[in-house]
Structure 1
């Protein structure tokens, strides 16, 4: 018999509408899973059990009438994302007691779709790193091997989905922060196109790098969650209109025969993918060819010159986080390093960096128009031990190790293209190894069609960690 947490969110919604289960039962089942496994995984900074059960009781009443499509289905919200009257630490001891007075617009949209949040998932301080660790809760761990980090910065969300603590979760991605933990936790993660999801009302899309998106165990769930989130808010600076066709509908469409570029080399000198990443990459290319697609090997078209300019923008963003002077003393060394680095950048340097990224990636994306999609590894390395990134205590070495781990993902934050990590491979040590498919800017629906076709050919839903 299929257990409730083994069902994806779409199946859970169907079970709720048919009366096979109540929302109170469904929410309580997942809260029990959190009680049993959440602490060991470092998945949740805050669990909102009382509020969730109250909302589940209300959902059961609403389900008797004309309810929203995901009324009563559990979800989780990343602790970078504002939630009204719920602590939102942003993974920082300096923000431990911060309680936002408003929801992020994306939270309002998720609640409008009927989802019930069970709490706030673990994230590194200010979402800064590609692994999840902080001074509030500690590391998030992949359920496939709890000695290894879940990846970041949506590590708690990915661990929770992988372990069946929630069927899907909201994450955010400014340099790979959805796709990195999706790969390390063996689930599906989708970074939408730039401007697809609003950062309002209190957030900002000033750099054009970050966007909210879904982490899930199935492509259809990710599409459904993006359908809920993909609505601009008045005042957005880069709004894309509501999709003309729901993304869930795209998952039911045949993508047709596509021309897919692929490369495995990185744009960073001296950094190359490991054997597990290459094995996954080669197998994915063979799978795509077996589905009738033309797969074309090309050199990595992104130049190394992007990296230092990205760092100017990245460090300026963290330097711009408003904190009282006394908070500096409790920040992690890595955060202080990036804030100090960003503080040295002038307005002219920041402007030049942003113009360089825009012009350079525009040129790259224009050349990529000869193809319908792009295949690369998601990560260069498998999930790493929790102490590996910062064991030296040197933020410069920490940064170098993050580049060794994730040299591919940030390219699509710079270009604004949609990109997804698919859990198609496991190493000889039973560690999940994702592969990444990217689409053309604004063509999120077409990328969902391709991902759904791959999922149907090589399904992964029934492959779960043993917890």
Structure 2
């Protein structure tokens, strides 16, 4: 969620592209089995579309080759959206997850806005997103890659990195990653790939029936936390409580965009996330532009801002 979450906390637009849409080459093929992507945060949907046009593309040797968009992404801004099938998800998704009333309110208000624009909206989501094993399988993959990244930095700079050099959470995950065996890692990768098929079938049913176009969730499960609230000995648990809705779509490789459609009772920005079918950045940008016109955010500022 390193694009969507900063966008949510700062009242900006943040699009996470599909896996492989923006090449990580020539330095990398993929990272976190394709879960790491590059993108941008901007003030407007048009700016995001323009950046996507500039940075999207294939580099020779890339392991993933998404289909090319039918036209420039900036052409999607203002284009007709049509009537979409939209599912809403706002409650706690993972065991121990935060179920905040303001997160629920942000999705409910967005659902009403979508209905007013002519879309079909219902409270539903992919059942596989509730799988309690996701967190452990995701962590098994991530810690192995973090351990590898730390080892690469140590080799590059001929240093031994300690807890004084990197964030304590990353240091701890690297330590766990160093003792993760290959079988455990490959088990997690296989589980994640099978789980991805289950999740994506909500958009693209394998039996040929009609799926949904977009899933709407909070970007974070609550208002922006105070500085330091996610540090300390129990930081991992608190991070997992609030970050329930983003990592799943890094793993499935689907495009997802956070839009600044809500403000907390304290006047702080709260993003709403829209998740599309694989490689449907075009549809997300079209819908995002429609919502930006219906509920403009360009002049909205928190009481304290830079």
Length-normalised TM-score, structure 2: 0.90
Tell me the equivalent position of 1:410. 247
Q: Following superposition, which runs of at least 4 residues in structure 1 exceed 6 angstroms of deviation?
A: none
Deviation at 1:400, TM superposition (A): 0.7
Question: 2-side partners of 1:294 and 1:434: how far apart?
Answer: 21
Deviation at 1:411, TM superposition (A): 1.1
Tell me the equivalent position of 1:422. 259
CA contact (8 A) 2:29 2:61 kept: no
Q: Deviations over 1:33-79 (max 9, x none)?
A: xxxxxxxxxxxxxxxxxxxxxxxxxxxxxxxxxxxxxxxxxxxxxxx
Tell me the equivalent position of 1:386. 227
Deviation at 1:244, TM superposition (A): 2.7
Question: 1-side partners of 2:250 and 2:60: how far apart?
Answer: 23
Question: 2-side partners of 1:205 and 1:453: how far apart?
Answer: 33
Tell me the equivalent position of 1:440. 277
Tell me the equivalent position of 2:198. 363
Match for residue 320 of structure 1 among 140, 148, 168: 148
- When Rg is computed on C-alpha atoms for both structures, the one with the higher figure is 1
SS at match of 1:320: helix
2:218 corresponds to 1:377: yes
Question: 2-side partners of 1:374 and 1:367: how far apart?
Answer: 9
User: Judging changes above 3 Å, is the alpha-carbon distance between structure 1 residues 403 and 218 closer, same or farther for their aligned structure 2 residues?
Assistant: same
Q: Which runs of 5+ in 1 are unaligned?
A: 1-175
SS at match of 2:160: helix
User: Which residues of 2 match residues 6-25 of structure 1 at below 5 A?
Assistant: none
RMSD value over aligned CA atoms?
1.4
CA contact (8 A) 2:96 2:241 kept: no
Question: 2-side partners of 1:432 and 1:418: how far apart?
Answer: 22
Q: Which runs of 5+ in 2 are unaligned?
A: 205-210
Tell me the equivalent position of 2:179. 344
Question: 2-side partners of 1:386 and 1:309: how far apart?
Answer: 29
Deviation at 1:241, TM superposition (A): 4.3
Q: Deviations over 1:3-47 (max 9, x none)?
A: xxxxxxxxxxxxxxxxxxxxxxxxxxxxxxxxxxxxxxxxxxxxx
Deviation at 1:387, TM superposition (A): 1.1
Question: 1-side partners of 2:68 and 2:119: how far apart?
Answer: 29
Deviation at 1:368, TM superposition (A): 2.8
Length-normalised TM-score, structure 1: 0.60
Match for residue 4 of structure 2 among 179, 187, 203: 179
Tell me the equivalent position of 1:203. 28
Tell me the equivalent position of 1:84. none
CA contact (8 A) 1:265 1:300 kept: no
Tell me the equivalent position of 1:189. 14
SS at match of 1:211: coil
Match for residue 306 of structure 1 among 123, 134, 143: 134
SS at match of 2:146: helix
Alignment: residue pair count? 288
More displaced stretch, 176-185 vs 293-302: 293-302
User: Which residues of 2 match residues 219-368 of structure 1 at below 5 A?
Assistant: 219-299=45-125, 301=127, 302=129, 303-321=131-149, 322=152, 323=154, 324-328=158-162, 330-368=165-203
SS at match of 2:39: strand
SS at match of 2:201: helix
Deviation at 1:299, TM superposition (A): 4.8
Deviation at 1:179, TM superposition (A): 0.5
Kindly indicate whether structure 1 or structure 2 has the higher relative contact order, using CA contacts under 8 Å at least 6 residues apart: 2
Deviation at 1:300, TM superposition (A): 5.1
User: Judging changes above 3 Å, is the alpha-carbon distance between structure 1 residues 325 and 347 closer, same or farther for their aligned structure 2 residues?
Assistant: farther
Question: 2-side partners of 1:259 and 1:443: how far apart?
Answer: 14
